[in-house]
A and B are shown apart, each in its own frame.
Chain A
Amino acid sequence: MSASMSGNTASSSSSKKSLKAFSDDIWKNKTAKINAELFTLTYGSIVSQLCTDYERDFAKVNKQLYSMGYNIGVRLIEDFLARTALPRCDSLAKTSEVISKCAFKIFLNVTPQIGNWSSNKDSFSIFLDENPLSEFVELPMDAARELWYSNILCGVLKGALEMVQMDCDVYFASDVLKGDQTTELRVKLNKILKDEIPAGED
């Protein structure tokens, strides 16, 4: 029996090109697109319906948005991997770069900035200068106090990262919709999960 092995082709080809050029190409040439305003309006419709359903209990709305995001994340990761053929990241720095330059780009056509690394490099922030979810959004006073309007994004990242074995906390630290200067999403890596192995193998 012979076995042939080699490095992942996609990773070697993408490291030659910059990750940005790689993602731009996917966005331009390999991505079916839809009107961004329809996306914004549809999300707005979801959030406002939740606010009604939960009688403006915004803590519940945040939670529900997060769980909807999680459901999306565990599926979206497969779409992401299918289109990019990227391997797992070997460092959190690499992960942050892939999230901002690649994932946000090919799904939402924005490239948020990464920053605010913790001293032990286990957490970072994503600064959303542009946020397709919240264009044209103005929060009523009661909602501005408690609602994290784009909380679905936290769930998406949580779910997607978990599927590549990264157990993370993801939450909003600030949002321009609340009068903050920036929209800052915080990602903290708790641990790398182990791949499952068949029962009886350990």
Chain B
Amino acid sequence: MSQKIISPSTSVNSTAHPGSTGYDYTIGPQQTLPELPVSSSTTGGGIGGGASTAVSTTLPLPSVYNESLNPNARNQHVSLSAYAFLFQELVSQARNASKSVSEIELRLHRSGYHIGIRLLELLNFRSSVSAGFGSSSSSKAFFSKTAMNPSGNALALNGSLSSTQDEPSLAQGISHMKRRDLKPVEILQFIHSTVWSYLFGRVSDDLVKSSERENEFMLIDSAPMLTQFISSTNVQCDFFVCGIIEGILDSASFPCNVTVHSVPEPNFEQKVVFVVKFEPQVLEREALRA
């Protein structure tokens, strides 16, 4: 089976590049799919419980490629308390597996990092979708099946995967994929606004450049959401958020080191500052570009 291509640009004819896996500058960024697990409907059934083997129409193992990236395709929220409980267990797990405070923080950092590296592409992709898509009323009409171009790649792909057909796709709303941010300040602004809004429902409280060191920037959060219920511990649980930031910056080719410091203020006892320290090579690159 030849590989199907989801192309962010609907104008690209995927059949013109059969089997292409590498980056093609004439097309731009594109996602390639591995061989689809057609045979896995049998393997999947075999693994499953007795119930599924008994039924003739066993499902293949679900594939993430069936899922829509449209944020409106599913529940957008869970309760903060459910998250708080889960986060506590994340911290406890890190604590039980560690011998020192710095080791706990390192593990939290690592957990966040794995989330961060997944977010860059996703959030860039979503912010590339033309304005008006976010508003639910207009998007509903747009995402409805009838509005989709039947020859569009997204639908063809969905069909080939026999996925649920009514899952909305964002692919067609993209006119241009947002260019990746090249300057440290741009990518930090992306974190300050887009990423923070995505994670915590509001932009961060401030983004400041260090006056002392050229390669240091500070993101300020007066009321960190994830750690608000965790009190008086010597472990700084916001290292998890450091990890997210560092993951995003790393995958955007801004190698850096992110740390967090708490700076309690009378009205904001839990106020924290995330310090982003870029590696020297980032500044060198900046100098060359200028």
Is the CB–CB distance between B67 and A33 below 8 Å?
no
Q: How many A-B residue pairs have CB under 8 A?
A: 155
Is the CB–CB distance between A76 and B78 below 8 Å?
no
1/0 contact string of B80-94 vs chain A (CB within 8 Å): 111101111110110
1/0 contact string of A157-177 vs chain B (CB within 8 Å): 000000000000000011011
Give complex CA distance A88, B64 in Å: 40
- A: contact size bracket: 35 or more
Contact residues of A between 96 and 155, Cβ < 8 Å to B: 106-110, 130, 132, 135-139, 141, 144-145, 152
1/0 contact string of B198-234 vs chain A (CB within 8 Å): 1111000000000000000000000001000000000
B15-23, B50-58, B250-258: which lies at the A interface?
B50-58
Q: Is A71 an interface residue (CB 8 A)?
A: yes
Give complex CA distance A92, B19 in Å: 56
Of the candidates A33, A38, A42, A176, which one forms a contact with B111 in the assembled complex, judged by CB atoms under 8 Å apart? Answer: A42
Q: Is B100 an interface residue (CB 8 A)?
A: no
- B: contact size bracket: 35 or more
Interfacial chain A residues near B63, Cβ < 8 Å = 138
Interfacial chain A residues near B86, Cβ < 8 Å = 39, 42-43, 46, 72, 152
Is the CB–CB distance between B90 and A181 below 8 Å?
no
Give complex CA distance A152, B92 in Å: 14
Q: Is A35 an interface residue (CB 8 A)?
A: yes
Q: Given contacts A41-B118, A68-B89, are A107 and B51 in contact (CB under 8 A)?
A: no
Is the CB–CB distance between A46 and B93 below 8 Å?
yes
Is the CB–CB distance between A31 and B79 below 8 Å?
yes
Is the CB–CB distance between B79 and A42 below 8 Å?
no
1/0 contact string of A27-60 vs chain B (CB within 8 Å): 1000111111111011101101110010000000
Is the CB–CB distance between B81 and A46 below 8 Å?
no
A189: min CB distance to chain B, Å: 22
Give complex CA distance A119, B120 in Å: 51
Q: Is B49 an interface residue (CB 8 A)?
A: yes
Q: Is A25 an interface residue (CB 8 A)?
A: no
Closest to A75 in B: B85
B121: min CB distance to chain A, Å: 13
Interfacial chain A residues near B61, Cβ < 8 Å = 138-139, 144, 177-179
Chain A contacts to B: CB under 8 angstroms: 27, 31-39, 41-43, 45-46, 48-50, 53, 68, 71-72, 75-76, 79, 106-110, 130, 132, 135-139, 141, 144-145, 152, 173-174, 176-182
Given contacts A34-B201, A109-B79, A139-B61, 19 further A-B contacts (CB under 8 A): A33-B79, A33-B201, A34-B80, A39-B82, A45-B90, A76-B85, A106-B79, A108-B75, A110-B75, A130-B74, A136-B64, A138-B61, A173-B49, A178-B49, A179-B52, A179-B60, A179-B61, A180-B51, A181-B51
